[in-house]
Amino acid sequence: MLNKTFTCIIPARGGSKRIPNKNIRDICGKPLIAWTIEAAQKSKIFSVIWVNSDDELILNVAANYGAKTYKRPPELGTDDATTESVIREQLKHITHPTDFVMVLQPTSPTRKHKDIKKVAYKASLYSMFVFTVNVDMKRNGSIYIAPWDYMLNKERWIYGFGKVLPTIDIDTEDDWKEAECLLLARQSV
């Protein structure tokens, strides 16, 4: 059982160059970002689910799927902005901290609510930073979770050490097709 509290933040920048508008592009009947929002909701572990973006269309889609929205400052919507700086800036404006912050990238639509719960359990058990990797053991950003203070105060947590769990991420059209196939197979079961 989880006896800790969790905040979810889904960072979704609007300026994707390789796949235009990818966070709101339809994949298997719904916008890409909706898969992440719904998995977070199904996990039933979060006090709040935020979508953090510089793009009004993304924020509107997120609100339609039941997420709270946070409009990041324009300087954090650039190619140079780090995920850490985006998350840190938002955490400074949240008035009710939780024990842990989980960052879910919208580019991992095959992530299931069970994966979210499993990673949350590992993080709360060890009270440490946990992240997911893809099959070649490179970080993919599907899930990052750490205690609130760690996320707020650590400059570069994405490159920190912690517990590792495997998953998949969309960066190219080929990744998109692979994820679509997996989602379609899941829906037909």
Mean pLDDT over residues 96-121, rounded? 92
pLDDT in tens, 88-100: 999 999 999 999 9
Q: Give the contacts of 185 (CB within 8 A, at least 6 positions apart).
A: none
Burial of 24 (0-12, 13-18, 19+ CB in 10 A): buried
* Residue 58 near residue 12 (C-beta atoms within 8 A): yes
pLDDT in tens, 28-77: 999 999 999 999 999 999 999 999 999 999 999 999 999 999 999 988 88
The beta strand positions in the chain, using DSSP E, are 6-11, 26-27, 30-31, 46-53, 68-71, 100-104, 130-133, 139-147, 163-166
The Cα–Cα gap between 111 and 36 comes to 7
Predicted pLDDT of residue 29? 95
Q: What is the largest CA-CA distance in the chain?
A: 44
The Cα–Cα gap between 150 and 19 comes to 32
Count H helices, E strands: the chain? 6, 9
Per the confidence metrics, is the pTM higher than 0.75?
yes
The amino acid at residue 88 is R
**Cα–chain-centroid distance for residue 69?**
14
Correct CATH for 6-188 of 3.40.50.980, 3.90.550.10, 3.40.50.1110, 3.40.190.10: 3.90.550.10
The amino acid at residue 120 is A
Provide the residue ranges of all domains of the chain, joining segments of one domain with +.
6-188
* Residue 115 near residue 133 (C-beta atoms within 8 A): no
Predicted pLDDT of residue 69? 98
